[in-house]
Amino acid sequence: MKRGALPVFCGLATISIFAAMALLPMQAQAGRSCEQVKPTPDVIVKGMQMAERTSQALDASGARVVILARAGQDLSKYGLRYSHLGFAYKTDAGPWRVVHKLNQCGTAVAAVYRQGLGEFFLDDPWRYEAAWVVPTPDVQTHLLAALNESPARIVRLHTAPYSIVSYAWGQKYQQSNQWAVETLAAAMEPATINSRAQAQAWMQFKGYEPTTLKLGPLTRLGGRVGSANVAFDDHPNDKRFSDRIETVTVDSVFAWLPRAGLGAAPVTLRLQ
């Protein structure tokens, strides 16, 4: 794995899907807190070790593309292990690259970025642990076609307005994991899926079930007032006011992919 210049902490992309994004002096994050803290040498070393070990394991798997996750935040109180996922794919030049959606810190908008594994794991995660699902050969073929074509295709279903708890079946906002699974749907049916609603219909047809978070009114109010990237107004009233927040999580996606015949069981790698 190439060890080039270190990225700005909090995940600023060195290569953006939108060329203009590379010029913005903004920080981006997903699946972790948005604290502006200078990375320590220990954080840098661990992040690069995590990236190197992940690269070696992915090489050994024989896959060309995987659904890759990290544990950026402690979500154990919600029964969740991972916080953020993206598509990791093997480039013709050799290194693995990750395409994923990142929220611009302190804002309610996000963009799609292409990064190296080093950047993916240099965000001072809650736990130095990676997990991935190797898609079936057919799914890998479709995903690679989308990832290797023009940038416009991979952001076709991207929605900039962002909420970390966006409604799984809504289109007002779109969080990072939601973008990934909707993009997977569009990659599988490029001729027929041209909207987020169509992608979500495909997901439902394939049996995807979002995670239901039990968030009471005080939690919901505090989240909306205290964070620009948290909103609940896209959730149906009957679910929102009965404390049922349905959103796309890594754990729900990893449970669904093998069940739907789209991939193998998740593989885990943890830095000791």
In a domain, 1, yes or no: no
In a domain, 5, yes or no: no
Instruction: Share the mean pLDDT of the chain.
Output: 84
Helix (H, G, I), strand (E, B) or coil at 6: coil
In a domain, 2, yes or no: no
Helix (H, G, I), strand (E, B) or coil at 267: strand
In a domain, 168, yes or no: yes
**Distance between first and last Cα of the chain:** 20
pLDDT > 60? residue 1: no
> Phi and psi at residue 21, in whole multiples of 5°?
-65, -30
Q: 243 versus 172: which is more confidently predicted?
A: 172
Q: How many domains does the chain have?
A: 1
Determine the pLDDT at residue 32.
44
In a domain, 3, yes or no: no
- CB count, 10 Å around CB of 74? 14
In a domain, 184, yes or no: yes
In a domain, 9, yes or no: no
144-196 pLDDT, tens digit each: 999 998 888 999 999 999 999 999 999 999 999 999 999 999 999 999 999 99
8 Å CB contact between 35 and 26: no
In a domain, 149, yes or no: yes
Which structural domain, as residue segments, surrounds residue 20?
15-270
22-41 pLDDT, tens digit each: 222 234 555 444 555 677 88
Average pLDDT in the 111-126 region?
Answer: 89
Name the residue among 39, 31, 42 with its Cα closest to residue 8: 39
Helix (H, G, I), strand (E, B) or coil at 193: coil
